């Protein structure tokens, strides 16, 4: 079933900025704070068993009030259309909306009209149609059940084989990831029983997926001087270049300003003390050349119990991104708002792009941030061995168990842009955009920072990235990620 032609871009940064988040969690400590500790006696705000509630219905009522900022578009539409079950982009760029049988389809036209003002258009979108599918569950129901799984299974030692949970917009279901090495009929059945009998989540609302381990990928204003490839010494420094520390090789994500200091962002796991401050020293170019030193880590975190959306049973702290801030040395030439552009991109999974810089057109220009991510949206990455690659988003807002660091990464995204490891961690992820940007070549909107991949040499693999709104939530004082334009002043 189709509704006549509408604007292809349904999501509006300008409209959605005004939407208030209803997260029940606090924002957590500011950028330089270390992890908070549980309070004596009650285990802290994130240590709460299901027995703490008088009934499962009370638990459901409390959780139903939670709304994640990364899903504000979905909730915004749900507020206006009863029975809205989710929105995504199909392979042709059409917008697909799930509605329950009781939904009023006529309301959809007015909702679409209210979202027309977005000034960006994804270069990969090829249609202006909206397709309606019948869904069994509302987005609010799926979000509630996802929060329960995160709190009582994902951070539980009893169910340590549960590795992730997210809402899959394409199938109108909650998807629970099970560690492939522990996937058995018994483990799946134990989770299914707990969902139905204890959390009162209907069995047909949940799909189980065998999940393979995610691997971190550490390895080692005049742009006319940008030549060679992203591994070479480049000045000014821009996003997408290879950077070195004493023990790892990663990629420079993007540049900004934090506490009045110029900084760049890379992954927290790229530091000497992952997800904890360690003053890691970075080079871009040759580690042995003093002039190639570019900065020192100033903040990595915070992870805290207070940042968990829902109290979890095993007291694991939470974060919104895998990111760290590096203060740029005073004498290091840098260009905030720019990302390296190479001569060729790969649009295919498992196929590398180019690391060779396009000397005639060497940068992408960051004109804004893309904080609303939809399944099916085409995104790009520059960095690591695989250079410039692009692919579609396949999962949004995945809560991920990071056993190695004993934290929960909340609301991470997955996409099918190729990566071959070799220092890809920290690469900028962005969306190419169209708009009235006079004199600006290659405008892009910053979408996040690459952090890991799973099965990157297999057809069922994916890349994982932390969304830009997660980085900004972890570091509330971070600003200046885009250049100044008439449209974002």
Peptide bond into 227 cis (omega under 30): no
- Give the HSE-up count for residue 251: Cα atoms under 13 Å, Cβ half-sphere: 34
CA dist 318 and 316 (Å) reads: 7
**First and final C-alpha spacing in the chain:** 41
Contact of 292 with 333, CB cutoff 8 Å: no
The β-bridge partners of 162 are 178
Query: Are 394 and 462 a contacting pair, CB within 8 Å?
Result: yes
Q: Which helix (H) or strand (E) holds 147?
A: helix 139-149
Question: How is residue 100 written in tokens?
Answer: 């329950």
Sheet holding 254-258, edge to edge: 249-251, 242-244, 281-283, 293-300, 324-328, 261-266, 254-258
C-alpha neighbours within 13 Å on the C-beta side of residue 311: 16
Q: Nearest 5 degrees, angle CA 258-CA 259-CA 262?
A: 45
| Any domain includes 251 | yes
Q: Does the residue 481 lie in any domain?
A: no
At 468, is the secondary structure helix, strand, or coil? helix
Q: Could you list the residue range(s) of the whole structural domain that residue 15 is in?
A: 2-30+39-134
Does any domain span residue 417? yes
The pLDDT of residue 23 is 29
Do residues 126 and 161 both lie within one domain? no
Burial class (CB in 10 A: 0-12, 13-18, 19+), 232: middle
Non-local (6+) Cβ contacts of 186 within 8 A are none
- Name the nearest CA neighbour of 428 among 233, 264, 269: 264
Instruction: Decide: residue 177, CB within 10 A, 0-12 exposed, 13-18 middle, 19+ buried.
Output: buried
For residue 221, the model assigns a pLDDT of: 57
178 and 304 both lie in a single domain = no
Q: Is residue 155 domain-shared with residue 127, that is, in the same domain?
A: no
Same domain, 320 and 442: yes
Report the DSSP pairing between strands 388-402 and 84-89.
Answer: unpaired
Residue numbers in the chain where pLDDT is lower than 50: 1-46, 116-117, 119-121, 124, 126, 220
**Residue 217 pLDDT:** 64
Q: What is the pLDDT of residue 13?
A: 27
| Shared domain check, 188 and 224 | no
Provide the pLDDT for residue 32.
26
Regarding whether 221 and 205 lie in a shared domain, the answer is no
Q: Give the pTM.
A: 0.85
Distance of CA 194 to the CA centre of its chain: 29
**DSSP symbol at 21:** P
Asked whether residue 272 is assigned to any structural domain, the reply reads yes
3-state secondary structure (DSSP) of residue 256? strand
Last residue of a domain, one of 194, 211, 228: 211
Helix (H, G, I), strand (E, B) or coil at 193: helix
Measure Cα distances from 388 to 197, 225, 280, 385 in Å: 48, 20, 27, 9
Q: Is 199 inside a domain boundary?
A: yes
- Within a domain: residue 143? no
What are φ and ψ of residue 169, in 5° steps? -65, -30
**Domain co-membership, 242 together with 206:** no
Q: Give the DSSP H or E segment for 206.
A: strand 206-211
For the chain, the domain total comes to 3
- Write out the two tokens for 85: 């079950």
Residue 156 CB coordination number (10 Å): 18
Q: Flag whether 139 is in a domain.
A: no
Tokens of residue 483, six digits: 């250049």
**Domain stop point among 192, 211, 230:** 211
Residue 401's DSSP bridge partners are: 408
pLDDT for the residue 93: 85
**At which residue do the structure tokens 């802290």 appear?**
44
Residue 248 has what pLDDT?
Answer: 87
Give the residue from 85, 102, 134 where a domain finishes.
134
Residue 486 burial by CB count (10 A; 0-12/13-18/19+): exposed, middle or buried? exposed
Closest to 393 in 3D by CA, of 36, 89, 83, 62: 89
Looking at the structure, do residues 244 and 344 belong to the same domain, yes or no?
yes
| Polymer length of the chain | 489
Is the CB of residue 229 less than 8 Å from the CB of residue 197? no
* Domain shared by 343 and 414, yes or no: yes
Dist. CA 337–CA 482, nearest whole Å: 5
144, 60 contact by CB (below 8 A):
yes
Which residues are 171's β-sheet partners?
none
181-197 tens-digit pLDDT = 999 999 999 999 999 99
How far apart (Å, rounded) are the C-alpha atoms in residues 179 and 161?
A: 5
If asked whether residues 260 and 194 sit together in one domain, one would say: no
The CATH number given to whatever domain includes residue 347 is 2.40.10.10
- Same structural domain for residues 306 and 244? yes
State residue 165's pLDDT score: 98
Q: Answer yes or no: do 467 and 392 share one domain.
A: yes
Order of all β-strands in the sheet with 130-134: 2-3, 130-134, 95-99, 84-89
Q: Which two tokens stand for residue 332?
A: 């290091």
State residue 250's pLDDT score.
96
Residue 414 belongs to some domain of the structure: yes
Closest CA to 144 of 91, 188, 208, 78: 78
pLDDT tens digit sequence for 449-475: 999 999 988 999 999 999 999 999 999
């Amino acid at each position: 079933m189709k509704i006549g032609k509408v604007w292809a871009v349904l999501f509006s940064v300008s409209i959605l900025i005004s939407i208030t988040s209803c997260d029940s969690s606090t924002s957590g400590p500011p950028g330089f704070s270390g992890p908070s500790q549980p309070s004596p006696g009650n285990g802290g705000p994130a240590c709460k068993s299901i027995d703490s509630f008088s009934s499962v219905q009370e638990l459901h009522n409390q959780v139903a009030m939670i709304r994640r900022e990364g899903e504000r578009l979905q909730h915004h539409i749900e507020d206006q259309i009863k029975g809205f079950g989710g929105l995504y982009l199909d392979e042709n760029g059409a917008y697909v909306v799930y509605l329950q049988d009781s939904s009023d389809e006529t309301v959809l036209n007015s909702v679409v009209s209210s979202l027309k003002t977005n000034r960006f258009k994804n270069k990969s979108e090829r249609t202006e149609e909206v397709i309606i599918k019948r869904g069994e569950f509302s987005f609010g129901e799926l979000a509630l059940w996802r929060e329960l799984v995160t709190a009582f299974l994902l951070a539980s030692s009893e169910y340590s084989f549960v590795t992730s949970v997210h809402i899959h917009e394409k199938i109108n279901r909650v998807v629970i990831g099970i560690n492939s090495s522990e996937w058995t009929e018994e483990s799946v059945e134990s989770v299914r029983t707990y969902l139905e009998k204890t959390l009162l989540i209907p069995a047909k609302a949940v799909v189980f997926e065998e999940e393979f381990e995610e691997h971190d990928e550490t390895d080692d204003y005049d742009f006319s001087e940008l030549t060679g490839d992203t591994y070479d010494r480049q000045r000014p420094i821009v996003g997408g270049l290879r950077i070195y520390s004493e023990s790892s090789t990663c990629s420079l994500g993007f540049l900004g300003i934090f506490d009045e200091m110029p900084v760049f962002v890379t992954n927290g796991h790229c530091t000497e003390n992952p997800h904890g401050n360690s003053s890691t020293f970075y080079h871009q170019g040759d580690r042995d050349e003093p002039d190639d030193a570019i900065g020192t880590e100033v903040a990595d975190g915070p992870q805290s119990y207070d940042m968990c959306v829902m109290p979890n049973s095993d007291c694991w702290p939470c974060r919104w991104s895998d990111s760290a801030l590096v203060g740029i040395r005073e004498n290091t030439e840098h260009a905030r708002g720019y990302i390296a552009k190479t001569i060729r991109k790969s649009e295919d999974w498992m196929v590398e792009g180019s690391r060779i810089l396009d000397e005639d057109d060497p940068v992408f220009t960051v004109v804004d941030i893309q904080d609303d991510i939809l399944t099916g949206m085409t995104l790009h990455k520059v960095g690591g061995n695989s250079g410039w690659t692009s692919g579609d988003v396949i999962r949004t807002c995945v809560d991920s168990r990071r056993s190695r660091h004993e934290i929960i990464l909340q609301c991470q995204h997955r996409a099918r842009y190729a990566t071959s490891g070799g220092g890809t961690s920290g690469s900028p992820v962005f969306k190419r955009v169209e708009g009235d940007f006079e004199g600006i070549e290659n405008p892009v909107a910053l979408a996040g920072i690459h952090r890991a991949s799973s099965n990157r040499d297999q057809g069922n693999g994916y890349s994982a990235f932390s969304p830009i709104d997660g980085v900004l939530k972890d570091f509330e004082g971070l600003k200046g990620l885009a250049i100044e334009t008439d449209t974002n002043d």
